């Protein structure tokens, strides 16, 4: 059991991360992932190009109004701006907390080749302490659940839930707020009802394992998917349908002591991710805050505008600030097409 003072400190950080009007920028793409993103704009994935791109994001003026924290990758948390200020200090000076992607990617689950479990529990406490010393206030661990023929298996759901709970407990013992990310993937031909069914099984298992491990729910953030149809299903759901299904799930499974849930975008477009969040927030308030922890859905336009050219930095930052502001409005249920067009 954590001491009361420890839990209080974790709770304060968690509440700051999901305070109304703010969300989290996920800039924790692995080098393999960022290479694919940069390839789309014909920019080689060198360390300097990756650094320059992240510098553009992190030095955006006014970002603190809409962004509470940034999730960094291991390479990124060690890097600095071109004038030698570490990215962590750059963010701190702007009033934004730094976090770290602490998992080490996925591997095939033993006995079920089409399912994944996440690596990284070995040596976790030592890695967390290292990144905490560099300024990380929170961490993130992603587990992926695949829907398919006979999938997911119960054993995959339970194993991922156990690993998430173990990760969360170690984070809290070290004094770092865990972002717990069980993602039911959009990939597949399943319908929306199947996504809701699997998401319910996953969240139920996650909170069962959190309770069994002794994780303080008030000192963590959930980051999970919206209830949406599979990408190959041919179905298109409205924001209202997505909101109804997702909130039905959350009201069934999310404990009231949880400070907040920050959505992942999961392959949605920038505007879709914002509109769907807004539709849910309009139906609040809830016991937990609804927020966002988007990667592509915050960065896509900025990345394309930047295109690896220093002369495009200001325009790219304007694009990032625009998306951050739109999502900020969405957490308050105040986003609209008019706001989207007015701010552009």
Residue 309 appears among annotated catalytic residues = no
Q: Nearest-CA neighbor of 293 among 67, 59, 98?
A: 67
Instruction: Out of 101, 140, 223, 325, pick the active-site residue.
Output: 223
Instruction: Out of 29, 181, 196, 270, pick the active-site residue.
Output: 181
Contacts 24+ apart (CB under 8 A), 81-88: 81/55, 82/52, 82/55, 86/134, 86/135, 87/54, 87/55, 87/58, 88/134, 88/135, 88/136
Q: Which residue do the tokens 């290479």 mark?
A: 35
Task: Quote the CA–CA distance of 34 and 276 in Å, as a whole number.
Answer: 26
133: which 2 tokens? 């010393």
CA-atom Rg of the chain in angstroms: 19
Q: Nearest-CA neighbor of 298 among 26, 85, 100?
A: 26
SS3 assignment, position 250 = helix
Task: Quote the CA–CA distance of 47 and 68 in Å, as a whole number.
Answer: 26
The string of DSSP letters for 194-211 reads HHHHHHHHHHHHHHHHHH
Q: At what angle do helices 154-174 and 4-17 cross, to 10 degrees?
A: 110
Residue 119 appears among annotated catalytic residues = no
Residues annotated as part of the active site: 181, 223
């Amino acid at each position: 059991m954590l001491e009361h003072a420890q839990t209080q400190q974790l709770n304060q950080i968690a509440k700051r991360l999901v305070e109304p009007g703010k969300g989290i920028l996920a800039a924790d793409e692995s080098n393999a992932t960022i290479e694919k993103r940069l390839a789309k704009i014909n920019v080689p994935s060198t360390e300097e190009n990756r650094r320059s791109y992240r510098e553009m994001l992190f030095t955006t003026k006014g970002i603190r109004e809409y962004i509470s924290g940034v999730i960094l990758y291991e390479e990124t948390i060690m890097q600095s701006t071109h004038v030698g200020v570490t990215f962590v200090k750059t963010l701190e000076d702007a009033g934004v907390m730094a976090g770290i992607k602490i998992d080490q990617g996925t591997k095939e689950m033993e006995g079920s080749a089409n399912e994944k479990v996440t690596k990284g529990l070995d040596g976790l406490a030592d890695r967390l302490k290292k990144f905490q010393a560099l300024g990380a206030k929170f961490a993130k661990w992603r587990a992926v659940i695949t829907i398919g023929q006979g999938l997911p298996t119960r054993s995959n759901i339970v194993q991922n839930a156990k690993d998430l709970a173990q990760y969360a407990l170690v984070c809290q013992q070290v004094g770092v707020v865990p972002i717990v990310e069980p993602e039911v993937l959009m990939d597949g031909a399943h319908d929306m009802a199947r996504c809701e069914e699997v998401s319910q099984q996953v969240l139920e298992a996650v909170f069962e394992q959190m309770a069994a491990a002794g994780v303080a729910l008030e000192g963590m953030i959930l980051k999970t998917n919206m209830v949406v149809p599979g990408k190959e299903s041919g179905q298109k759901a409205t924001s209202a349908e997505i909101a109804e299904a997702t909130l039905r799930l959350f009201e069934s499974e999310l404990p009231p002591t949880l400070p907040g849930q920050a959505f992942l975008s999961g392959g949605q477009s920038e505007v879709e991710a914002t509109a769907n969040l807004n539709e849910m927030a309009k139906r609040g308030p809830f016991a937990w805050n609804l927020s966002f922890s988007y990667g592509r859905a915050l960065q896509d336009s900025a990345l394309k505008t930047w295109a690896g050219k220093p002369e495009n930095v200001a325009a790219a930052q304007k694009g990032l600030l625009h998306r951050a502001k739109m999502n900020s409005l969405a957490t308050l249920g105040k986003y609209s097409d008019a706001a989207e067009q007015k701010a552009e």
